[in-house]
Amino acid sequence: MRVLITGAAGFLGSHLCDRFLAEGHQVVGMDNFITGHPDNIAHLIGHEGFRFVQHDVTDYMYVEGPLDGVLHFASPASPVDYLEQPIPTLKVGSLGTHKALGLAKAKGARLLLASTSEVYGDPQVHPQPETYWGHVNPVGPRGVYDEAKRFAEAITMAYHRFHGVETRIVRIFNTYGPRMRPGDGRVVSNFIVQALRGEPISIYGDGSQTRSFCYVSDLVDGIYRLFNSDRVDPTNIGNPVEFTVRELAELVLRMTGSQSEIAALPLPQDDPKVRQPDITVARSVLGWEPQVPLEEGLRRTIPYFEQMLRDPRQSARTL
């Protein structure tokens, strides 16, 4: 196949490029580097199956030649990013998804939309199945990301129903691993960087809120299987093993050997109290479930951040 991956220089997009190339496919990567970074795809430059286009997907998208798939992963995806860039976040979820769908329609390609567990908001159903409609504050600060993704899902299904475009929707739960930007504000990267620097570990509230952490290779495998499946309705991909944020902080401290203390900060507005995927569909339809437990995933991730912090050229990305 020949596929376009938007957000190709981002954390997940770059790993997806690796997977499709490893499977023998051709990849066109697209990114405008708002939150992605050239270093994430530097190893692919010169690869005979890879081509890169620097472009903002909210503008008209053109890709020369045939395409079999469009995987739309362009978007700020961490609270730090979408709170600092609310308008671009809304635009990439709406205009960007519209452009990606238009390109898929023109090429006769299958589109896979990267959606998010954030469509469930601060859930009142636990764990969250795909049939749950969510509990989102549309006018709160997090609404710019939550509603952008909810709109993206709606227009994707409209293109499927009205135009007959082949579509897939993945709802991604908390994911971590190498190539996360150290300063992106996500809990795993935050805790590891703070621990390695000997800074206080910042937890919000009392740390009793829960998250489910999926290692990036597991997530990419689930996405690859979903893309190649016949499943049209949204599909949860994530690790259903639930941890409190305080448990994560304590594990990071133990694994890094850090002497950092845990510091409690005020809980942000609309911060979800629980987050755990129901992956019954992924298990039954895709034959997928995560293989990498949290401790093993952290063991693979911590050295990446250690290297980042040792490299003066990279340290600016941690600010």
CA-angle at 168, arms to 21 and 10, nearest 5°: 50
User: Pairing mode, if any, of strands 210-212 and 167-172?
Assistant: unpaired
At residue 172 the predicted structure's pLDDT band, cuts being 50, 70 and 90, is: very high
52 three-state secondary structure: strand
Q: Which residue has the tokens 């998250």?
A: 211
Q: What is the pLDDT of residue 312?
A: 66
Please give the structure tokens belonging to residue 105.
């329609």
Q: What would the pLDDT profile of 214-270 be if each residue is shown by its tens digit?
A: 999 999 999 999 999 999 999 999 999 999 999 999 999 999 999 999 999 888 777
Q: What is the pLDDT of residue 85?
A: 95
Ramachandran region, residue 197 (left: φ > 0; alpha: ψ -120 to 50; beta: rest): alpha
Is 145 catalytic? The answer is yes
For residues 31-59, give the mean pLDDT. Answer: 97
Please give the structure tokens belonging to residue 247.
């448990």
Sheet architecture: strand order including 50-54 = 50-54, 26-31, 2-6, 69-72, 110-116, 167-172, 235-237
**178-211+241-275+293-318: CATH topology:** UDP-galactose 4-epimerase; domain 1 (3.90.25)
For residues 210-214, give the mean pLDDT. Answer: 94
Catalytic residue among 145, 159, 176, 224: 145
Q: Rounded to whole angstroms, how far apart are CA atoms 67 and 100?
A: 12
Please return the burial class of 102, using the count of CB atoms within 10 Å of its CB with bins 0-12, 13-18 and 19+.
middle
| Whether the bond into 129 is cis, omega within 30 of 0 | no
Q: What would the pLDDT profile of 112-156 be if each residue is shown by its tens digit?
A: 999 999 999 999 999 999 999 999 999 999 999 999 999 999 999
30 three-state secondary structure: strand
The domain segmentation of the chain, as residue ranges, is: 2-175+213-237, 178-211+241-275+293-318
Cβ(244)–Cβ(209) below 8 Å: yes
Q: Which residues of 46-64 are buried (b: 16+ CB within 10 A; e: fewer)?
A: eeeebbbbebbbbeebebe
Q: Which residue has the tokens 């621990």?
A: 195
Which of 3.40.250.10, 3.40.50.720, 3.40.50.970, 3.20.190.10 is the CATH number of 2-175+213-237?
3.40.50.720
245 three-state secondary structure: helix
Sign of CA dihedral 265, 268, 274, 278: negative
Q: Rounded to whole angstroms, how far apart are CA atoms 111 and 158?
A: 13
- 27-36, 106-115, 305-314: range with lowest mean pLDDT: 305-314
Cβ(93)–Cβ(34) below 8 Å: no
For residues 160-169, give the mean pLDDT. Answer: 98
Cβ(281)–Cβ(236) below 8 Å: yes
For 60-106, give the secondary structure using H, E and C. CCCCCCCCCEEEECCCCCCHHHHHHCHHHHHHHHHHHHHHHHHHHHH
Q: What is the pLDDT of residue 314?
A: 61
Q: Assess whether pLDDT exceeds 90 at residue 274.
A: no
